[in-house]
Each structure stands twice: as C-alpha cells, then as structure tokens.
C-alpha cells in the first residue's frame, strides 16, 4: 500500500439524496423471520431508504451531484471529471458516470465508474484529489451512489436487514488559502483472497446470467456477515495504527470520525480498539442502513448540516467492504 499525503484539495460543496420510501424494521418483520429488537441490537438500524421502481443509481447520483454543485456555486459545464463510485451501476456498460454527466449537464467532463464496494468513495476522493494536485483537473465531482435494494435477497434475513439506497457527492477543488482544506493523508488496500464472503456471484463474465443462476438466486448479494464483521474490525484498527505512525496525528485532534455505516457494533468496536472516543464517531445508520459507497458522503453532508463538521476541522474517514477493500482518509474540511 502506498499512502498519499498533504494534497491542498478542498471539498467545495457536498450534496446528498435519499429516496422517499422508508422501509422500517416493522415492515421487515412482515417479510422475513426477524424482529425489530434483533435488528436494532445487532446492527443499530431502524429504517433504510428504498429507490422507487423508476429510479436507477444514476438518478440518485445526479440528484446528489446537482446539490453538491449548487453548494459549491459551480456550473455543471465547469466540471472536468465525474468519478462515480458504485457497485450497483445502471448497466455493465455504459458507465453510470457518463449517464450522470449528461443528466446534470457536465458536457465538458470525462467520467468513469469506480468499483470498490463500500470503500468506493474513499478511493474516488483519493483519485479526484490526485487529478487536481497533478493539474489535470480543476473541478472534480466524486459521487458515491447505490441502489443495493436491487441486489438484495429479500428472502435472506441475515443480509436484507442491512442495506439501503442513496447517494452523496463532493465537489473537489484546489485549495489556495493556507490552512484551508487538505487531504492530509490517505491509505487504501485490497485483497480478493476472501472475496467470497461478500459478493454478487453471477452476472459478470465469470458466471454468466442464465436461468440456473436466476433460479439459484446468484444475482443477489451473498454475505457471510460474521466473517466480514471480524475482518472489518481488525483491518480498520490496523489502518488507524498506520495513520498514527505515518502522520504522527494525535487522535484527540480529530474532530469527527466518519466511518462507513456498516454496523453500529463494528463502528463502536473500531473506536474502542483504536482508542477513539465513540461520541466523536458520526452515525446515521439508524435511519439509512448500509448504503455502501454512498454512506460516507451522505454522512458527511448530514454532519455538516448538523454543525458537527465545520471548516478547518480534521475528519477521519474509514471504510471496509467487498473486494475486500479498505481505506482511511484524514482530511481538513
Ligand atoms: O459494509 C460491509 C458489509 N457489511 C457487512 O457485511 C456486515 C457485517 N456483519 C454484520 O453486520 C453482522 O455480522 C450481521 C448483522 C450480518 C449479523 O450479526 P451477527 O451478530 O454476526 O449474527 P450471526 O450471523 O452470528 O447470527 C447470530 C444468530 C444466528 O442464529 P443461531 O445460529 O445463533 O441460532 C442467525 O441465524 O442470529 C440469527 N439471525 C437472525 N435472527 C433474527 C441472523 N439474521 C437474523 C435476523 N433476525 N435478521
């Protein structure tokens, strides 16, 4: 793993969009053998949002992207690149990023999809910052957007309780003011040795869609939750250690931790292991569930809206997910 440090790049605007439809735990009780009490105790989730039948990932992404541009006061034609982080694209191809570009009017941009599951937004942020720092782009729109409900097996109680739909976006620009926004540090990693514990097995070139794959429900997410849980806590703890070693940052200087919203117990365990105060971890999992690549930018937008993340604050973003992939980003907002 290579780390990237001290890039003078700021988040000029944030935007988020979640669908109107709420699926709460009492509705899930009618669908599978579960209880609100079990879901809340084991995950912290009370409800999640579900995209309308007419909405695809690009619709959610475009809505969040437009809001980020508005917050930054930037016209869509001035966007140079759109990085769309998703594991639930509209199609195998074309890239969902291209559909979003056209939808929002980013006619002078190039765009591509980035697939790193729940770590996607952190990978996208790193790439967007590097594009700006290299001088290749001035305005980069990084979006995390998912319609996980389309790939959820609504008959599998061990996974269907977890996921929701939504999108979050950040418009990145070069920072010129000293002491302004900065990507202080980021480190990413991946390893497919245990890819099987969180995957959609069919529909790609390895296992082509067929009547059999449909019958066997192989187009839905397959999750070995307990395994993912253990690996997530271990890897995120290691990432915090690496970050401390390489940057010398003191955890008490971190104003807010914005972790991927996978499970309240994972977040609390990581905080305990790393000596991070739990009250400084931002959580919206109760209302949103796990929205994969969308979870961190949605949480950031809400944290800013609630006054919990302010200009100049140091925030630590942490993610772990399918791939397996992981990442930690320290930034001055
Ligand atoms: O962002 C990366 C993706 N995120 C994840 O992959 C999530 C990571 N994992 C998790 O969040 C947790 O492992 C889960 C929430 C998925 C499961 O929680 P757990 O505490 O690890 O439960 P478990 O899988 O060990 O199952 C414990 C028991 C089992 O029953 P037995 O064998 O002890 O009798 C399950 O059958 O709970 C049962 N169970 C349920 N009971 C009621 C599993 N799902 C449910 C359910 N309602 N929805």
pTM across the whole model: 0.97
**3: pLDDT strictly greater than 80:** no
- Residue 4: pLDDT band (50, 70, 90) is low
Read off the pLDDT of each residue in 221-237 and give the average, rounded to a whole number.
96
**CA 176 – CA 9 distance, rounded (Å):** 8
For residue 290, the CA-to-ligand 1 centroid distance in Å is 14
pLDDT tens for each residue of 170-198: 999 999 888 889 999 999 999 999 999 99
Query: Which one has a higher pLDDT value, 179 or 50?
Result: 50
Q: Which two tokens stand for residue 16?
A: 């988020």
- Mean of pLDDT over the chain: 96
- Residue 12: pLDDT band (50, 70, 90) is very high
For residue 211, the CA-to-ligand 1 centroid distance in Å is 29
- Residue 276: pLDDT band (50, 70, 90) is confident
Question: What pLDDT is stored for residue 51 in this prediction?
Answer: 98
pLDDT tens for each residue of 249-273: 888 889 999 999 999 999 999 999 8
CB 327 within 8 A of CB 123: yes
**106: pLDDT strictly greater than 70:** yes
- Residue 209: pLDDT band (50, 70, 90) is very high
Which residue minimizes the CA distance to atom 37 of ligand 1?
A: 158
- Residue 39: pLDDT band (50, 70, 90) is very high
Question: What pLDDT is stored for residue 168 in this prediction?
Answer: 98
Instruction: Using alpha carbons, list the distances in angstroms from residue 61 to 15, 81, 293.
Output: 10, 14, 11
Which residue minimizes the CA distance to atom 4 of ligand 1?
A: 262
- Residue 27: pLDDT band (50, 70, 90) is very high
Read off the pLDDT of each residue in 96-110 and give the average, rounded to a whole number.
98
The residues carrying an active-site annotation are 118, 260, 290
3-state secondary structure of 181: coil
**CA 333 – CA 11 distance, rounded (Å):** 7
* Residues whose CB falls within 8 Å of the CB of residue 315, separated by 6 or more in sequence, listed in order: 254, 255, 256, 257, 258, 300, 309, 330, 331, 332, 333
- Residue 206: pLDDT band (50, 70, 90) is very high
pLDDT tens for each residue of 124-157: 999 999 999 999 999 999 999 999 999 999 999 9
Question: In a mutational test of the pocket of ligand 1, which residue from 31, 158, 263, 290 has the highest number of ligand atoms less than 8 Å from its CB?
Answer: 158
CB 227 within 8 A of CB 312: no
Atom of ligand 1 nearest to the CA of 319: 1
Q: Is 78 exposed, middle or buried (0-12, 13-18, 19+ CB in 10 A)?
A: middle
**2: pLDDT strictly greater than 60:** no
For residue 159, the CA-to-ligand 1 centroid distance in Å is 8
**64: pLDDT strictly greater than 90:** yes
Question: What pLDDT is stored for residue 103 in this prediction?
Answer: 98
Question: In a mutational test of the pocket of ligand 1, which residue from 229, 230, 321 has the highest number of ligand atoms less than 8 Å from its CB?
Answer: 229
For residue 295, the CA-to-ligand 1 centroid distance in Å is 20
In the chain the domains, ranked by start, together with CATH numbers, are: 10-174 (3.40.47.10), 182-332 (3.40.47.10)
Instruction: Using alpha carbons, list the distances in angstroms from residue 207 to 158, 195, 223, 325.
Output: 24, 15, 18, 22
CA dihedral (242, 247, 253, 256) in degrees, to 10, reads: -50
**CA 241 – CA 243 distance, rounded (Å):** 5
> Which candidate, 169, 159, 40, 125, places its Cα nearest to that of 331?
125
Read off the pLDDT of each residue in 210-222 and give the average, rounded to a whole number.
97
Say yes or no: CB of residue 79 within 6 Å of ligand 1: no
């Amino acid at each position: 793993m290579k780390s990237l440090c001290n890039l003078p790049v700021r988040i000029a605007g944030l935007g988020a969009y979640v669908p109107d439809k709420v699926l709460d735990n009492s509705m899930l009780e009618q669908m599978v053998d579960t209880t609100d009490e079990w879901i809340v105790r084991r995950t912290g989730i009370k409800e999640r949002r579900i995209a309308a039948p007419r909405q695809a990932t690009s619709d959610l992404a475009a809505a969040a992207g437009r809001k980020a541009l508005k917050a930054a006061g930037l016209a869509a034609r001035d966007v140079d690149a759109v990085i769309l982080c998703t594991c639930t694209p509209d199609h195998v191809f074309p890239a969902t990023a291209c559909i979003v570009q056209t939808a929002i009017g980013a006619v002078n941009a190039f765009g591509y999809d980035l697939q790193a599951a729940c770590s996607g937004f952190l990978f996208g942020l790193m790439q967007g910052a590097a594009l700006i720092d290299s001088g290749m782009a001035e305005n980069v729109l990084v979006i995390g957007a998912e319609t996980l409900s389309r790939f959820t097996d609504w008959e599998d109680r061990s996974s269907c309780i977890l996921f929701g739909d939504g999108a979050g976006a950040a418009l990145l620009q070069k920072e010129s003011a000293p002491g302004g926004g900065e990507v202080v540090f980021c480190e990413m990693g991946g390893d497919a040795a245990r890819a099987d514990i969180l995957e959609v097995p069919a529909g790609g070139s390895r296992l082509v869609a067929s009547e059999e794959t449909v019958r066997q429900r192989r187009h839905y997410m397959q999750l070995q939750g307990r395994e993912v849980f253990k690996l997530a806590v271990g890897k995120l703890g290691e990432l915090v250690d690496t970050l401390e070693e390489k940057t010398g940052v003191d955890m008490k200087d971190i104003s807010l931790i914005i972790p991927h919203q996978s499970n309240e117990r994972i977040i609390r365990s990581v905080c305990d292991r790393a000596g991070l105060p739990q009250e400084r971890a931002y959580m919206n999992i109760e209302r949103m569930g796990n929205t994969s690549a969308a979870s961190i930018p949605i949480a950031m937008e809400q944290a800013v809206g609630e006054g919990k993340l302010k200009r100049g604050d140091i925030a630590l973003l942490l993610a772990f997910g399918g791939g397996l992939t992981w990442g930690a980003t320290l930034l001055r907002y």
